[in-house]
Structure 1
């Protein structure tokens, strides 16, 4: 089998140790000749890169080339797959995304509501420039994009790169939810074949089929959730953080109120915004939890491995566990490479997939993915509640991108006023002005010239 050239964009991400480990473990199915980390920040990437050199030397000796660079010509020339996971503004801006809305009594979350809005306005220009650069050096590369907020990014890339079927915008949240379903059913998510619809971070599972028998396990999953099952913290090696534990356990409450379909966990921000705000600490958000927890833990591990000069025979030796984020994007690449036509949940242009929804809407649905890209599975029309929810959310996403591209502050205000986590116009004005001030280095000064009353 031909070996491929792969670049990981966002090379300094704390997710990359897991992603590199997954690539090494899947070398039989996804052989790599050249692996490159690319980031615009050399110092941050260097730590991950030095760790990667040790990991590849010990676990992937067949790899011909491993390097890390800030030079796009070096990173993107002759690439077959670009795995993209950038965070525009890093975690310092994420903290502002979460805390500014909370100051005004609205949901503070990195991809939903006003926080996701701010993040989207930073991400879109960065992603567009990145895709243009990749296409300059590798016109046929597959670009598998994890960068958030995926719905807004997908709306923008649809417009700027129409018809580029080798850009696939994906999210691992539904996959992580299926891992929880696996816990309930005594199996793993790899035993499931899902059917799903919605927008990114805004959708529902209609069916969860058993791959072997074809039986729809969704009714049994619902029954277990509604009977009082609660998810535990996990084992000593992999402890689920308290905020995620609460998020997964909230699925049962949503299901009791809306029992037709199994909900994406992120719907709690849109359907229960008052509850989210009441139970949030405006001074200590998820960003702080990561900075004080996972970020320190990962960098401590990286620095210790670099100091030791090895991974094997140390407490950091790679195990058999499968990280959801890492495994999903690698599984997707393998399905493309080997034309496996497996089911993945992909964000694609509707084009009649859901017949009673705007054909231009970027929907997240079940797709068969092979060497020709993603082929969505057609659905029946969705009910009035779901149609209304989706159309409102899509109007918010569309106006966000319109406002960015047209430098139109009124459209940005309209977007926030439509978002279910904000709604009130006066509140939207205050949040928007605070976000403009916080993001002037990213959005530019165009939006600061006209202040809202």
Structure 2
């Protein structure tokens, strides 16, 4: 089976390949094609993969190309993990937003809109090429903002594109573990949009164990989200929010913390990864060792400003092991082998969440089999959550419209309507600032 990874020179690709190396079952991936626009990054990642595979018999073969059409032809699965504008673009997203006193995080608020505006046209082009060159392939979308990009691609690929995120999986695992349950045996009642969802129940053998957690302040405060949000707030909500909702519930504190750091997250990663890729240009570098060292530092500093604001302390060791690759492998296995399973995924609504239309991409538990991912019908959200979901989905739709018609006015509307921007004048200045630093937004007229 052939797997093509778009953004194949990306830093996280070895996580995916490492997961593939553990798969010895029938119908496994035997060929991996890396595609990237940057030859040097492809070379660096290919070196890491070669060291990963050195002691593994019959490891999937790896080839690399800068020709997109060549990479797509004959693919059974396609992972889309591109970053339009690179980490320099992410750093600019943060800088421009913070200059206006609003959040520049890559998927949330102004930064997420800017990232979406320059990513959607590229993702649509990829979807159209897939439809033409590999119509039977399944596209698994890693590219952020994951829900928005998946929805853009679904307009051309239908249900053959599925978005994944490791945040809900990690959240469900933490809740199950603190309750003494096996995460693999628990059903997580999770619903929302990507990076905007809530766990409302965790059922083990038909019994919802979440009320027990919410009633015990000591237990509730013992894991990441309890430390991040505070036990009182979680008890008020009656649910456990995705960690990204910290940007909404504690927005002023987070913006202040981000404004005071020496380097934003994007600038830190830009410099850190530049050092890694420069190091990989030396033929004597131990590739896998260098990658492992860089990854450990990257994961340990994840959402550091949010945790500092909340006084949450350092991340637990169990939360430093990634997760995208595990979700992706489970999804591929379920489709390729008809190994039926339940996963939290980004898919078209199809009536699962009544407040949104059928084509809106949402993040919910899905039953997965050889025919793809099928969203499980979920109970309505409470009013406060419904309001956020509808507002942010409305913004996503304006981003898709602006990317489709090139309207600067529509782009301003997308920024202005976002709950974390809430000012037309700020929205106008954001569009001005972003078009100045991002060549990829030159299409906005």
Alignment of 1:83-94 (within 5 A): 83-94=79-90
RMSD: 2.9
Alignment of 1:13-412 (within 5 A): 13-28=10-25, 31-59=28-56, 61-63=57-59, 65-161=61-157, 164-186=158-180, 189-210=183-204, 213-223=205-215, 229-231=221-223, 249-252=227-230, 255-256=233-234, 258-281=236-259, 283-291=262-270, 293=272, 295=273, 299=277, 307-308=285-286, 323-412=322-411
Normalized per residue, the structure richer in helix is 2
Unaligned 5+ runs, structure 2: 295-317
Contact 1:97–1:115 (8 Å) recurs in 2: yes
* 1:389–1:134 Cα change, 3 Å: same
Q: How many residues are aligned here?
A: 418
* Pair 306,7 (structure 1): closer, same or farther in 2 beyond 3 Å: farther
Which residue does the alignment assign to 1:242?
none
Cα distance, 1:220–1:14 mapped onto 2, change above 3 Å: farther
Q: Give distance in 1, aligned partners of 2:240 and 2:163.
A: 22
Deviations 1:123-182 (A, max 9, x none): 111211222223333210111111000122123223344xx2211112211112223324
1:12 aligned residue? 9
Closer, same or farther: CA 435–308 of 1 in aligned 2, 3 Å: closer
CA distance in 2, matches of 1:286, 1:7: 29
After superposition, the C-alpha distances for 1:354-393 in whole angstroms (9 at most, x for unaligned) are: 2233334322111101110111111233332222222111
Report the CA distance between 1:13 and its aligned residue.
0.8
- 1:218-257 deviation line (CA, Å, top 9, x unaligned): 22333456656244xxxxxxxxxxxxx7x77323368447
The 2-side partners of 1:166 and 1:290 are apart by: 32
TM-score by length of 2: 0.85
TM-score scaled to structure 1, two decimals?
0.84
Stretches of structure 1 lacking an aligned partner (at least 5 in a row): 232-244, 448-453
Paired residues of 2:21 and 2:59 also in contact (CA < 8 A) = no
Query: What SS does the corresponding residue of 2:380 show, helix, strand or coil?
Result: coil
- Inter-partner Cα distance in structure 2 for 1:310 and 1:93: 27
The 1:308–1:99 alpha-carbon spacing in structure 2 relative to 1, beyond 3 Å, is closer
Say whether the 8 Å CA contact 2:21–2:53 is kept in structure 1.
yes
